[in-house]
Structure 1
Amino acid sequence: MTAEIDLDLPDLREVAAYAADSAEKVIAIFERTCVSDSRPREAIAAARIFACGGPRVKALRDVAWAGHKAAQETDDRAASEAARAAMCAPAAAFLHPLARATQVRHILGAAAHAARAAELAAGDDPVVGHGFVERTARGTNPKVIEILCRYPDPPQGGGRTGELLRMLNRKLRGPESGGA
């Protein structure tokens, strides 16, 4: 049986706001390539509505899936990652109170996909991804870090985006998790 994490609606709103902020940083990468596709922007907007007190409803899942579909429908890898970041914003509202490493993706997924989008948009330059992670870590709300620290470290895997997620996780948790 998996242990439960103390998690309430205000916590979910903090995480969704953080995810929306992360996705917003790279939405232009998607919109430059997919000018007429508003699905990722709508996903971010829905996450913001939830974060500001809106209901946690099926519509959030629907816009997350629409953002995912947008990511799948573009051949541009940077645009796809930016759409995935947007998809993660409303999905963050569905962070579960289960002590599972996979739940960390609900908290840091948008930021990790955003870092990868920035990296790819700069010609797949890992220095850009590292810089994005550094800036994101410095700007993360302490409440989000406190929520993150309730969960175990994220799992291995996930390719380069997973590496960026684990890098951000280490930085946010501090030296005791191998962070700087």
Structure 2
Amino acid sequence: MDDRLLHALQVAKEWEQGNATVGAAMKASLGAHAAAREAADPVVTAAARSIGHAVATAHMADHSMGAPLYALKALKMAGRPLDEERAWQYEQLQQLPADIAELVSGTMKQKEKSFKI
């Protein structure tokens, strides 16, 4: 795996624990997206974009939609079933207040079309 992706995952974990700056998250996101652009395999590209969006959530909440959507796209492109990942994502949403979970779920369903999922 590209070191930039591993670094972005580490920064995302540090952000979640309150130990990373917004600047570090932005820089890690840019590195992950650079890795996505350089990847020859479309599955790797989608996975790298998922990582880039996950860490970018630190500076812009809307990026939170990209992480799960690109994860689904990577699975689809790899010929893997999406049901288990979708179920896990839905389970995570249930930890949020109901109105927010409904908003996020609805938005993700709308955006799936543009992601060709």
What interval of TM-score do these two structures reach, taking the shorter chain for normalisation? 0.7 to 0.9
Opposite residue 129 of structure 1, the aligned amino acid is L
The match for 1:133 is 86
* 1:91 aligns to 2:56 (yes or no): yes
The 5-angstrom pairing of residues 1-180 of structure 1 reads 31=1, 37-96=2-61, 103=62, 106-122=63-79, 128-140=81-93, 142-143=95-96, 147-149=100-102, 153-154=106-107, 156=111, 158-160=114-116, 163=117
CA drift of 1:52 comes to 0.2
CA, structure 1 residues 140+66, in 2 after alignment: closer, same or farther (shift >3 Å)? same
More RCO (CA 8 Å, sep 6+): 1
Opposite residue 87 of structure 2, the aligned amino acid is E
CA, structure 1 residues 109+145, in 2 after alignment: closer, same or farther (shift >3 Å)? farther
Cα distance in 1, alignment partners of residues 51 and 70 from structure 2: 9
Cα distance in 2, alignment partners of residues 150 and 41 from structure 1: 30
Is contact 1:68–1:84 with CA below 8 Å preserved after alignment? yes
Q: Show structure 1 runs of 5+ residues with no match.
A: 1-30, 32-36, 97-102, 164-180
Opposite residue 79 of structure 1, the aligned amino acid is V
**TM-align CA RMSD:** 2.7
Q: After superposition, what is the alpha-carbon deviation per residue over 1:8-59, rounded to whole angstroms, capped at 9, x for unaligned?
A: xxxxxxxxxxxxxxxxxxxxxxx3xxxxx21111111101101101243212
Secondary structure in 1 matching 2:18 = coil
TM-score between the two structures when normalised by the length of structure 1:
0.53
CA, structure 1 residues 141+63, in 2 after alignment: closer, same or farther (shift >3 Å)? farther
Deviation beyond 3 Å, 4+ runs, structure 1? 144-153
Identical pairs, percent:
22
CA drift of 1:111 comes to 1.3
Q: Show structure 2 runs of 5+ residues with no match.
A: none
